Amino acid sequence: MLSEKTINDIKLLATKYPDKRSALMPALHLAQKEIGHLPDAVLDDIAEIIGVSRTEASSVATFYTMYTREPRGTHTIFFCNDLPCALRGADEMLEQLEHKLGCKAGQTTADGKITLREAECLGGCDHAPVALIDGAEHQSDLTLEKLDALVARLINS
């Protein structure tokens, strides 16, 4: 399932650590970037290169919240509603966002475009409320207007 390039990148990663098992998490990141999630077949490929069992690879892939074994939407919004964000309106904003997307946190929109997830503190409390988009882009000082624009952008991209 993984492309030859990703497999080669993972093999290269495995040489960069004193113990190649350390390459497991970076490898899972690379694979998820390519496939979107981490199905059994992908874990088997990675486990073989790294030298661990699929069970070990799977336990790591399910322990950490940024990995997903199941397919997600085209985009994922990790929305923080821990205390510092909640003190600045995150709870109400999350409710509005759920209403707008027509799905609850933890679910994906009917058209498969956006998965909404609650995030633990994203380290942006000075610009709360914050969200992390596709694990790559921080959105801060969120307002309802900003969220509307964000959702429109994600749906159209």
Question: Can you tell me the distance from the alpha carbon of 8 to that of 103, in angstroms, rounded to the nearest whole number?
Answer: 38
- Could you say which of 53, 55, 65, 143 contacts other proteins (CB under 8 A)? 65
Would you say 68 or 107 has its CB closer to other proteins? 68
Among the listed ranges 4-12, 103-111, 122-130, 147-155, the one in contact with other proteins (CB under 8 A) is: 122-130
Q: Smallest Cα–Cα separation from 12: which of 55, 50, 63, 60?
A: 50
The one among 101, 105, 116, 122 contacting other proteins by CB under 8 A: 122
**Max CA pair span of the chain:** 49
Q: How many CB atoms lie within 10 A of CB 24?
A: 23
Options 2, 7, 10, 24; binder of other proteins; rule CB under 8 A: 24
Number of residues that bind other proteins (CB under 8 A): 44
Is 82 a binder of other proteins (CB under 8 A)? yes
Instruction: Write the single-letter amino acid at 11.
Output: K
Residues in the chain: 157
User: Stretches 56-64, 95-103, 108-116, 146-154: which one binds other proteins (CB under 8 A)?
Assistant: 56-64
- 125 token code pair: 């409390």
The CB-of-67 to other proteins minimum distance in angstroms stands at 6
Query: Which of residues 31, 49, 116, 119 is near other proteins by CB under 8 A?
Result: 119
Q: Where are the alpha helices (DSSP H) in 20-143?
A: 24-35, 40-50, 54-63, 83-86, 90-101
From the number of C-beta atoms within 10 Å of its C-beta (0-12, 13-18, 19+), residue 93 rates as buried
Q: Is 12 in the site for other proteins (CB under 8 A)?
A: no
Residues that bind other proteins (CB under 8 A): 16-19, 21-26, 28-29, 50, 52, 56, 59-60, 63-67, 78, 82-84, 86-88, 119-128, 132, 135-138
